[in-house]
Amino acid sequence: MQNTDNGRITKLDGLRGLLSLVVALNHSFLVVAIPAYANVWGQNYLVFQNLQAKIQQLIMLIGNGGAAVTMFFLLSGLVLGQSMSRVEFSFKGLLSFYTKRILRLYPVYIFIILITAIYMRVGFRYQMFPFASDWYLWWMNFQMTIKELIYNFFFIHVYLGGVTWTLRVILIASFIFPVFYQISKKPGRLTSLILSLFLIIASFTIFDINGFRDLRYLYMFYLGLILPKFKSLFVAIPSWIIYSLVPFSLILLLAIRYTTDEYFGGLVESIISWFIIGIIVYNGKTKIFDFLNQKTFLFFGKISYSLYLVHFTVLYILARLMFSWLPNLPYSGSYLPIHMALFVLSLFIATLVSLFVHHYIEIPSLQMGNAINRKLQKS
């Protein structure tokens, strides 16, 4: 591996920061209804309706939150594999692994759903705003009760945030992951690819459960897990091939979901993301991804998990205030500058909140997980 800082691959930190910004951009440009388009980002890119719609469409192409989530899942598989390599496959070792995962994921999530629940109980009344998109109107359209809060706490429901469903996927994958790791330890590359193919086929068949789609993403974590087996392959790729393929691959990564569907598009995104992450981690000959080491991306990478969860709540409240206090804004004619303003303002506020959450909730919970791990190892 290359570009390390005390054992960390800094470019992956920068990649996490970039992906968190992509998700924030995606949500920010979904708020206002766009005339004449059901999904402006899903229309034919060769058809020109008007300049504002075309710019909005291109920005939504860059801000492909679905592709960002796919890459997040593969990154999780890679990182969890590294964690499992340091864990003894025993009751004590697995207890340590699961404890660290829960303390990694849950504290920030609990903070977000509690804040959102309090907000919904203190003077909140669901409203239908005439210029809001169907996506925006879907959220918070339920009665907040203790029962509903408990459902969201245990991920039975995932209504309190635009990305909380992905945490349920990650938790399920985390509990299955030790089995994945044991299965992947000895097989060679071909066997690992065959197992990946089995999981992919399962995602379109036996894992395609109505109302419960979480298992359909498990192959993404497995692809991330087996990535180190192909280190020599990525090291051997000549720079000219990388420079030739990466631009085309990035365009396909960003466009495929909008021209197909979430699941077939997710499969193509996974293959491309697997290639890109492999290049970032193992190929030191090309500098094409060196921009990920810039301070801005590393900064957002540091707070990426908190920002990933915080941003939706900030955006929802900010947009609600906008629709309520500024009903006469030219929403139909100026949705692009309104979306841009929402993105900048919501990102600024969410970043400040995320810094607080990262410092006072995320870091202490990580330290607690490490302390418990040390105690379990000594016992």
Terminal C-alpha separation, the chain: 33
What is the C-alpha separation between 346 and 313, in angstroms, rounded? 9
CA quadruple 307, 312, 315, 318: dihedral sign: negative
Mean pLDDT (whole number) for 250-256: 91
What is the C-alpha separation between 297 and 303, in angstroms, rounded? 10
For residue 347, tell me if it sits in a domain.
yes
How confident is the model over 108-126, as pLDDT tens digits? 999 999 999 999 998 899 9
Q: Quick one: pLDDT at residue 38?
A: 47
For residue 274, tell me if it sits in a domain.
no
Q: Quick one: pLDDT at residue 49?
A: 75
For residue 105, tell me if it sits in a domain.
yes
Q: Quick one: pLDDT at residue 51?
A: 87
What is the C-alpha separation between 109 and 88, in angstroms, rounded? 28
For residue 65, tell me if it sits in a domain.
yes
Structurally, how many domains does the chain consist of? 1
pLDDT at residue 224 greater than cutoff 70: yes
For residue 284, tell me if it sits in a domain.
no
pLDDT at residue 5 greater than cutoff 60: no
For residue 130, tell me if it sits in a domain.
yes
Mean of all residue pLDDT scores within the chain: 91
What is the C-alpha separation between 11 and 330, in angstroms, rounded? 41
Q: Quick one: pLDDT at residue 41?
A: 55
How buried is residue 252: exposed, middle or buried, by Cβ count under 10 Å (0-12/13-18/19+)?
A: middle
Query: Higher model confidence: residue 90 or residue 347?
Result: 347
Residues in the chain: 379
Poorest-confidence range of 57-61, 143-147, 219-223? 57-61
Q: Quick one: pLDDT at residue 326?
A: 96
Confidence band (pLDDT; 50, 70, 90) for 11? Answer: very high
Domain that holds residue 346: 4-233+289-378
**Model confidence, pTM:** 0.94
Tokens representing 263 are 């699941």
How confident is the model over 289-326, as pLDDT tens digits? 999 999 999 999 999 999 999 999 999 999 999 999 99
Phi-psi region of 130 (alpha: psi -120 to 50; beta: other; left: phi over 0): alpha
How confident is the model over 177-212, as pLDDT tens digits? 999 999 998 889 999 999 999 999 999 999 999 989
For residue 111, tell me if it sits in a domain.
yes
For residue 152, tell me if it sits in a domain.
yes
Poorest-confidence range of 78-82, 85-89, 210-214, 375-379? 375-379
pLDDT at residue 379 greater than cutoff 80: no
